[in-house]
Amino acid sequence: MRLIIAEKPSLARAIAEALPGALRREDGALVAGDTTVTWCLGHLLEQAPPDAYDPAFKQWRLDHLPILPDRWKHTPRPKARGQLTVIRRLLKGAQEVVHAGDPDREGQLLVQEVIEHLGWKGPVSRLLVNDLNRPAVQRSLARLEDNARYQPLYRAAESRARADWLYGINLTRAWTLTGRQAGHDGVLSVGRVQTPVLGLVVRRDNEIRDFKPRPFFVLWADLTVTHGMLRAWWVPGETHPLDDQGRLLSREPAAALAERLPGAEGRLTALESRDRRQAAPLPYSLSALQVDAARRFGLSAKVTLDVCQRLYERHKLITYPRSDCRYLPEEHLAGARATLQGACQADDTLRGWFEGADFSRRSKAWNDKQVGAHHALAPTGKPADLARLDKTEADIFRMITRNVVAQFYPPLVTREVKAEFSILDNLFRARGQEVLAAGWKPLFTTRDEAPPLPPLTEGEACRVADVGVEDRETRPPEPFTDASLIKAMMNIARYVEDAAVRRTLREHDGLGTEATRAGIIETLVERGYLVRRGKALRATRIGSALIASLPEAVGQPERTALWEQRLGAIAEAGDDPAPFLAALIEDLHGLLSAADAGRLSLALRDARGEAPPPPTRARSSNAKSSRGKSSNSKVSRPRRGTARGKATKH
């Protein structure tokens, strides 16, 4: 008997329906011929809690930290025992096992850890399914691979799970216990991704809070030229009071010039014209889709992910959604017309886009070198009756399909014009944009980015028809939204100050993964560290206090982004995970020694807007010594846990 273990029931059903032979259902499985398909329910196993290693760890104590498992253990999730029993029974009668987890790091982990936990020693093949429609699943079943090829991916996922456990368990216990000493009754959760994300929001909120607006002034002049009129803006010289962005800080020079300008004549001294060809945006990765859906429809990242999962699993209208790739396999190009025709035929908007496509074109989106375990989001070709979808599902499906259809449209061609005028020995600039060929742009928007300038000739005369001085103010940065926070997580190198680290991270950009970013934001909201105010995501008082009390590096993105780089090296280059975990454990010792109840108390007071306590009178050295011994505001040196070398063997 061949046993296929899928990641979830929907995938198991799609696989079973693609198998030859009559299909029958058994307890926890589907059977077709000599093949049985069973499933996990997401993660059936989880990292064992600390007290599974030592019953004393059930009580949270500072002198237990750091807790370092000698030999890693798993425990069944509460609702998973029944399905684990089914898989154990089926394994006893199997001659071959097929791993059918999702085609990503977590998918590799959650099925393989079950296979290993249940002690299977026989051969294991790997089935990768990106599309749940029957023809696509049948093609995948014909291309089974040796699961050994994906061992680096499994080791990376396993290392990530162990590192998250070490980091989260130890730091959460340390800060929760020092929080109690500081008067906070509740768990203070610290995580290797969630805390840097919280740190991004806290720092942005602090920038907004501390922002001091500064006035600046701009002068514009409406100019009559040979073939029409345009608006130009004065460029103050270096002799005027300017800030570091060239903005005028005093109104007087602008006002004085404005009085002289009406009716003044000048000349166009420099004219630059450049035609620009812009290809269509690439098909979506999950994060890119979440950013656009948040901007266009105000959807949270989690709502967009949930909608994509329904379109993939329930409706079978799109390919695997939890993808970080924006490219498509070259073999899909030949069938793209038929696929898109099926996706677009039942919707007026999509059908109009499809009919305007030129399928003789080939964009850079079709590139096998850019495709890894999964490709960009795309329609499957199943006929889509959008009337049977809810509005949000239809909106997201249109976006995904549009970005693929757009690959068969010509480029957007624009002419960008920059003009410089000399008037009363002062420099004025104007710029405009003209659309020469709309190309793919009407699929996305009909709005022009900038109005075109009238036809211009270098050296022609101009005359000032109107003039104005505008009083403006510098503005604080915008608070994060779901869209901008997801984008920040995708492009985390932009938020790194160290130039060397920033250069390194450009190749391994990303805080969290496509599959986890939405969940991270929701977790921070659920734990009371972030709150939504309209579209804005703002840090709560306790969220701000937590970041203020932690070592600065814990709330910064560098550490976890570099983790992802090292995990990528394990997954892609087969690096040994032991040095990664050893470095983490060494790091933990230093971080734990920084847990300070006094610092946390001050952070909590500051977040509540309370004044700091008045200074106390000096006491005798004996009294100070006695107080220091009892306060235990610093984490004690670790008494428990194994040697570092042992913790990194697994």
- Could you say which DSSP state residue 449 is in? S
Dihedral sign, CA of 166, 172, 175, 178?
Answer: negative
Q: Which two tokens stand for residue 308?
A: 């994509």
Question: Is residue 647 within 8 Å of residue 69, measured between CB atoms?
Answer: yes
Dihedral Cα 11, 13, 15, 21, nearest 10 deg: 180
Q: How far is CA 489 from CA 154, 407, 516, in A?
A: 24, 27, 11
d(CA 255, CA 219): 8
d(CA 423, CA 257): 10
- Could you say which DSSP state residue 451 is in? P
Dihedral sign, CA of 21, 25, 26, 30?
Answer: positive
d(CA 369, CA 451): 39
Dihedral sign, CA of 5, 11, 13, 16?
Answer: negative
The beta strands (E) that lie in 354-503 are given as 412-423, 426-437, 461-473
The HSE-up count of residue 390 (CA atoms within 13 Å, CB side) is 9
Question: Is residue 554 within 8 Å of residue 195, measured between CB atoms?
Answer: yes
Question: Is residue 171 within 8 Å of residue 592, measured between CB atoms?
Answer: yes
According to DSSP, the β-strands at 426-437 and 530-533 are: unpaired
The structure tokens 């944009």 sit at 433
CA 433 to the chain's CA centroid: 33
d(CA 23, CA 108): 27
d(CA 417, CA 452): 8
The structure tokens 């757009």 sit at 406
What stretch of H or E contains 531?
strand 530-533
**Cis-peptide into 66, omega within 30 deg:** yes
Nearest to 116 by CA among 73, 164, 159, 165: 73
Collapsing DSSP states into helix, strand and coil, what is residue 447? Answer: coil
Q: Is 320 a catalytic residue?
A: yes
DSSP 108-122: HHHHHHHHHHTT--S
The structure tokens 């749940």 sit at 132
Q: How far is CA 132 from CA 18, 101, 379, 612, in A?
A: 9, 13, 11, 60
The structure tokens 């100050």 sit at 497
Greatest alpha-carbon span in the chain = 95
Q: Helix (H) and strand (E) counts for the chain?
A: 21, 17
d(CA 219, CA 233): 6
Q: Report phi then psi at 539, rounded to 5.
A: -75, 140
Q: Which two tokens stand for residue 520?
A: 């991270």
H helices of 345-450, where?
A: 348-355, 391-405
Question: Is residue 491 within 8 Å of residue 498, measured between CB atoms?
Answer: no
**Looking at 150, 320, 327, 529, which residue is catalytic?**
320
**Among all residues, which ones are annotated catalytic?**
320
